[in-house]
Amino acid sequence: MKFKKSNKLYKKGLVHLVGAVNSPVRAFTSVGGNPLFIKKAKGTKITDVDGNEFIDLVLSYGPMILGHRHKKVQKGVEKALKNGYSFGASTENEIKLAKIVCDAFPGMDKVRFVNSGTEAVISGVRLARAYTGKDKIIKFSGCYHGHQDSLLVAAGSGLATLSMPGSKGVPEGAVKNTLISNYNDLESVKKHFEEHDDIAAVIIEPICGNMGVVIPQGNFLKELKAYLETKGALLIADEVMTGFRSKFGGAQELLGVEADITCLGKVIGGGFPVGAYGARNEIMQEVAPLGGMYQAGTLSGNPIAMAGGIATLTELKKQNPYKKFEETGSILEVILLETAKKYHVDLSVNRFGSMLNPFFTKTNVTNFEEAQTSDTAKFAVFFWEMIKNGVFLPPSQFEAWFLSSALTDNDIKVIANAVDKGMLAISKM
């Protein structure tokens, strides 16, 4: 497999793009080598500029749940394009998509569309503060909620310490109201409430996807929600990644929890830039023009994104692929674990719905600290072997793999063969 054209574009891109990319993980920094440049995609396959074809388990980090360029989505978008690209005014499709989304989430009466998951979270946090009249937010170490200043933070020493900025350019003042807790550790949340009386909300990914797929243990989410209710604080569910991926609706419902505010993105745009945040009427009443919490956007509710979202969710509801996702995910988990055992490679696999992630560690991963025990050098070898054998993975140990409903039995065979080659290469390290 050759990457001559991708390498040439990478060098050309270095001139006017930062690192030749527009999002850091695309730079392949954690796996080495130069990034691949993609030309086209259809169904389960993605093709780079050199003509190499791969089974795609990135799926634009989630939204291509039906596979690439599904005919119903393509038709819906093409129809919308004929009417115009952007109006800066209201359209009927915004109402249609809002009803589909609200009907899928118990406790969501109203929704506001924005342009990205990051924007949805920014707005959701602002809304929590507006509704409660409090300032502080608790997030969990290893959970990513977009690149907004107040949540782009890392934990200091100990679980209950005040946060420090996790990126250059983020002033300490921007994160002074952000507290860090440990995922799956309710006591680390309670400690903050013992020390602070102005906590507005806790924000969480119901299923983590940015430290790898990490799942809440036992009744962690239920107990967290019950505790927050005693403190007058809200639960914000960041379902930008998990929304519509484990059921038609949110992972929170499967886990027995109803968040106060839900943030969405990815799937609800069918591959187009979109995000959303929603809640009960009493909370959404705070949002302008009904209330005093201001948030606006010229491209919010963009007609092309709305058309893509309506077509995607309508087809997704019709297909109802969630039982198939569970079966396919289980097959891939077995393939990974049994192949790792065959070649004496330490491996732990986490899976939920149509998301899964192998960790190159013998540790059962339930939080960020445990995820970091993974051998990233082994993952880098595995990544490139998967690429060479026709499978496109996220170029990071700590990113989730995604399944599409278009995945076939033959695709599974190709993935299994690539996994075998990858584990064999690791065994020779």
CATH of the domain at 394: 3.90.1150.10
pLDDT at 156: 28
Task: Give the residue from 304, 319, 334 where a domain finishes.
Answer: 319
Answer yes or no: do 99 and 176 share one domain: yes
Q: How far apart are CA 103 and CA 83, in angstroms?
A: 27
**146 and 47 inside one domain:** no
Are 308 and 270 in contact, with CB atoms under 8 Å apart?
Answer: yes
Question: 138 with 258, same domain?
Answer: yes
Q: How many domains does the chain have?
A: 2
pTM, entire model = 0.93
Please give the helix or strand (H or E) that residue 229 lies within, else none. Answer: helix 220-231
- Region for residue 141 given its phi and psi (left: phi exceeds 0; alpha: psi -120 to 50; beta: otherwise): beta
> What pLDDT is stored for residue 339 in this prediction?
98
Q: What's 150's DSSP letter?
A: G
**Judgement on whether residues 182 and 222 belong to the same structural domain of the protein:** yes
The CATH code of the domain that includes 112 is 3.40.640.10
Same domain, 299 and 369: no
Place of tokens 């696999």: 349
Tell me the two tokens of residue 105. 């989430």
Buried b (16+ CB within 10 A) or exposed e, 199-216: bbbbbbbbbbbbbbbbbb
Distance CA 405, CA 319 (A): 8
**Domain span at 330:** 4-65+321-427
DSSP code for 34: P
Residues 167 and 305 in one domain: yes
In a shared domain, residues 89 and 235: yes
How far apart are alpha carbons 339 and 344 in whole angstroms?
Answer: 9
pLDDT of residue 170: 76
What pLDDT sits at residue 155?
Answer: 34
Active site residues: 144, 238, 266
368, 291: one domain: no
The torsion angles phi and psi of 201, rounded to 5 degrees, stand at -165, 165
pLDDT by residue for the chain (429 residues), tens only, comes to 899 999 999 999 999 999 999 988 899 988 999 999 999 999 999 999 999 999 999 999 999 999 999 999 999 999 999 999 999 999 999 999 999 999 999 989 999 999 999 999 999 999 999 999 999 999 998 888 888 777 876 532 232 333 444 677 777 777 889 999 999 999 999 999 999 999 999 999 999 988 889 999 999 999 999 999 999 999 999 999 999 999 999 999 999 999 999 999 999 999 999 999 999 999 999 999 999 999 999 999 999 999 999 999 999 999 999 999 999 999 999 999 999 999 999 999 999 989 999 999 999 999 988 999 999 999 999 999 999 999 999 999 999 999 999 999 999 999 999 999 999 999 999
Residues 301 and 389 in one domain: no
Structural domain ending residue among the three candidates 265, 289, 319: 319
Same domain as 108, residue 53: no
Q: What pLDDT shows up at residue 166?
A: 61
Look at residue 157 in the predicted model and tell me its pLDDT: 26
55 HSE (CA, 13 A, CB side): 23
Q: Distance between CA 364 and CA 347 in Å, rounded?
A: 9
For residue 229, what are the contacts with CB-CB under 8 A and spacing of at least 6?
none
Cis peptide before 303 (omega within 30 of 0): no
Contacts of 363 (CB under 8 A, 6+ apart): 348, 370, 373
Are 79 and 14 contained in the same domain? no
Would you state the structure tokens that stand for residue 429, as one six-digit string? 């390290």
Q: Does residue 226 share a domain with residue 119?
A: yes
Among 267, 287, 319, residue at a domain's last position: 319
Closest C-alpha among 362, 396, 398 to residue 380: 396
What's the distance, CA 139 to chain centroid? Answer: 16
SS3 of residue 309 by DSSP? helix
The whole-number pLDDT of residue 162 equals: 38
* R_g (Cα) of the chain, nearest Å: 21
